Amino acid sequence: MILALIFFLAYLIGSIPFGLIVGKVGYGIDIREHGSGNLGGTNTFRTLGIKAGLIVTISDILKGTLAASLPVLFQLDIHALLAGIFAVIGHMYPVFAKFKGGKAVATSGGILLFHDPLLFVSLLAVFFICLYVTKYVSLSSMLTGVYAIVYGLIKHIIFGDLPLLIIVFMLAFFVIYRHRANIKRIKEKTEPKVKWI
C-alpha cells in the first residue's frame, strides 16, 4: 500500500504544470494556446521569454528530483529512479492539465540529478554542445537521451548499475517518442532553430 502511495505521490508531483502556472499567473497567458502548445520549458522560452523559461525548466527539473527523493524521505527500500519514473509520466500526462504535458526532458534530468549528479552535469554539457552544433532543441534533447544510454551502459559494465541502465533506456524512449512530431519537422526542414547560441 505504501509503495502505491509513493508512486502516486511521485505522479502528482510530476503532474504539476509549471508552464501553465507561470504563464497564467505571471503573464495571463495559457502557453498551450501559443507556439507548439507544449507545457515544457522550450515553449515557455519561446512564448514568454528567458525569465519564465528558466523558472519553468528549473521547476520541472526539481520536481523530478523531489519525486526521486521520496523513498529516502520516507525511509523506504525503493529505488529512487523507480519512484522518479512516475514523476516523468506525470509530467508527460499531467492530471492537472488534462493529461497533456511536456516532453519529459527536464523532469527526466531531475530524477537523474538525484541518482547521479555527475551524469546530470554531463547531460547538460552534451545538450549544449549538440545545441551549438545543430541549433535544434528537439534534436539536442534526443541526442542527449542517446548519450544517457551510453553512459548507463558503461556505468553498468563497470559498477553494475542495472537500474540506471534500464531507466535511461525508458527515459530516452519517452523523449524520442514525445518528439516524433519534431522529427517530422526536422526532416521537412520546418523545425525552428535557436538563434542565441
So what's the pLDDT on residue 1? 81
Say how far apart CA 60 and CA 159 lie, in whole Å. Answer: 29
Mean pLDDT over residues 114-135, rounded?
A: 97
So what's the pLDDT on residue 109? 97
- Mean pLDDT across the chain: 95
So what's the pLDDT on residue 196? 80
Say how far apart CA 85 and CA 3 lie, in whole Å. Answer: 14
Residue 181 confidence (pLDDT) above 90: yes
Task: Give residue for cell 495559457.
Answer: 30
Q: Grade residue 51 by pLDDT with cuts at 50, 70 and 90.
A: very high
So what's the pLDDT on residue 35? 83
User: Does residue 131 contact residue 193 with C-beta atoms inside 8 Å?
Assistant: no
pLDDT tens-digit map of 83-112: 999 999 999 999 999 999 999 999 999 999
The residue with greater pLDDT, 3 or 61, is: 61
